[in-house]
Amino acid sequence: MIGVDDRDGIRTITLTRPETGNVLNAALVAELARAVAGCEAADGPKVLVLRGGAQVFCAGGDFQAAAQGEELDPAILYDLWSRLACGPFVSVAVVSGRVTAGGVGLAAACDLVLADDSASFTLSELLFGLYPACVLPFLIRRVGAQRGHYMTLSTQAVGAEQALAWGLADAVESTVDGLLRKHLLRLRHLDKAAVGRYKLYRAELDGVIDGARTLALESNRRMFADPSIRSGIARYVAEGKFPWED
């Protein structure tokens, strides 16, 4: 489900199932967690680059699995994002195409988000009676509470330029590979121990991720235990219809 390439102190992780939307299921998250953990050692990679496909970065949670009663443990996903946000390496999301629901959390957890003009970010959870409990602590660190609130309630896509203006993306160019190369020229020379110390300081400074963990996980579990929500997800998977549609 992922490809891993190590060279010159940089680990590139590529999500390799664009036909599924690179959805976040238990198997994918476990593979990602192992690959990210490999960057935490003192002699591990200094930079972690996370890539999706050309049309979709990550479409969020796996509704097919959820419809079959196989919900992903939110603690595993939250802890993966925490590692990206706080681990002793520089995490860089390279984004093209659609980023939806939990995919927004995956990108927002990274230290840097580099995007091309095709990138769009959408919190679609409320369309299914859900809300982005685990995403918001990571998103709010980037865009602030009201913009996270707007994205949640509107369920509208935020394009690349708007994402840049809001801080959800850190840089946008028409060709994201060139943008990545420019950033790696300096990132590869940073001292890993110094990066680790700085990121621990930043995590303690804002306190958002650790402080929100318990509430986010409890909220997520309550939502997915609701029979009406589970039924709506199953109907969407089977018929492609939103809960309000006849």
Coil, helix or strand at residue 103: helix
Residue 125: active-site member? yes
Catalytic residue at 218?
A: no
Alpha-carbon gap, residue 231 to 243, rounded angstroms = 9
3-class DSSP state for residue 159? strand
| Chain-centre distance for alpha carbon 116 | 17
- Spot the catalytic one: 62, 71, 111, 170: 62
- CA–CA distance, 205 with 163 (Å, rounded to integer): 24
Contacting residues for 239 by C-beta, under 8 A, at least 6 apart: none
Name the catalytic one among 111, 116, 125, 170.
125
| φ, ψ (nearest 5 deg) of residue 48 | -115, 120
Are residues 199 and 47 in contact, defined by beta-carbon separation less than 8 angstroms? no
Tokens of 116: 């091309």
- In the block, tokens 């990602």 appear at 32
Which residue from 49, 52, 43, 54 is spatially nearest to 23, judged by alpha carbons? 52
Show which residues are catalytic: 62, 125
